[in-house]
Structure 1
Amino acid sequence: MVKGLKSPSSPVVVSFSVAESGANTYTQARVNLALNVLDQEVFVVTGVNLDVLPPQCIAGLNTRMRGQLSTTSRATIGSLSSTNIIAIARDDIRM
């Protein structure tokens, strides 16, 4: 544990799913964590499992499905070089 952080509670598992709002459409969902700022509560991520569905197979086209976990709302998919991206997953079909 990092100096200055205490672990008064057990690990918490956060689960969610996001359905694509339309074909080839960027869709995001927000998961709010109830943290008490006055008690200086923080949330430490110790593991991430992103399970993206395979992309649609369209004859003659390359298709891709991507997912990411970020600390802030985003307008587009980012990369691990962005400071607010925690994890990213990708599945490709190349024709």
Structure 2
Amino acid sequence: MSTGNLTLIRAAAAELPQVRLDDALQVCVLLRDREPQRYEAAAVRWIGRFCVEKHDVTLDDVDQARAAFALMRREPESALAALQALCAGP
């Protein structure tokens, strides 16, 4: 996906009343690939949203999310799967 597509995604997201948590995760993945200098800030924002939006989040869940974002640069598939599982959790 090109940087231009990332610009289009940002513009579309600005038009929405709210971006779903799983969609915001995909934006983090795009930033990791296209704008790595912004990746960590996006990951931290995602974890904050995760804490607020998901019911019954535990410290273990937060630690798993943090670890998955840290792992994302080396093992993107397994990290993304872990984060998606957290999104889908109870």
Category of TM-score, reference length = shorter chain: under 0.3
TM-score by length of 1: 0.24
Q: Which has the larger radius of gyration?
A: 1
TM-score by length of 2: 0.24
Give the helix-richer structure, 1 or 2.
Answer: 2
Give the strand-richer structure, 1 or 2.
Answer: 1
